Structure 1
Amino acid sequence: MATFETTRPAQGFFGGRLSSLVVSIVAAVAAWNDARVTRNALSKLSDRELDDIGLCRGDIESISARAN
């Protein structure tokens, strides 16, 4: 049975540096979106609900910043 490799290592500028740049941009956008979703979800909670989980309104920004 014959086998062949379907992946090739990235080579040159466009294969290595450009692909790592795209990956880092996608990761940054994903982290920003995660922080945004967290901030929105926590902002929708009432003060009582936030107190139940041990947070206050002032903690929301620092919690969402940690998501980055």
Structure 2
Amino acid sequence: MAALDTTRTTTGSFGLVGRIGATFASVVSTVAEWNDARVTRNVLNDLTDRELADIGLCRGDIHQIVHGHR
């Protein structure tokens, strides 16, 4: 699982370099979230129906789990 620390605070104006850094951090965060969802979807899809039932899921739940709706 990827992690990106976005809790740092700054004082004053970001300036051009700060805005570029914030944009880069946003892009990296978006890509990391997409990759986590992709990996989760692939792992859950590889499970058998019996294995999914053992953890209390069915195939129809995968989309909701991947997108955090559950």
The TM-score, its normalising length taken from structure 1, stands at: 0.78
Q: Which amino acid aligns with 2:67?
A: A
The 5-angstrom pairing of residues 13-52 of structure 1 reads 13=16, 15-52=17-54
Q: How many residues align?
A: 58
Separation (CA, whole Å) in 1 of partners of 2:53 and 2:64: 16
Counterpart for residue 3 of structure 2: none
- Secondary structure of the equivalent of 2:56? coil
Q: Which has the higher contact order (CA 8 A, sep 6+)?
A: 1
Q: Secondary structure at the match of 2:67?
A: helix
> RMSD between aligned alpha carbons?
2.0
Identity, in percent, stands at 57
Contiguous gaps of at least 5 residues in structure 1: 1-9
What runs of 5+ residues in structure 2 fail to find an aligned partner? 1-12
Moved over 4 A (4+): none
1:29 Cα deviation from its structure 2 partner:
0.2
Normalised to the residue count of structure 2, the TM-score between the two structures is 0.76
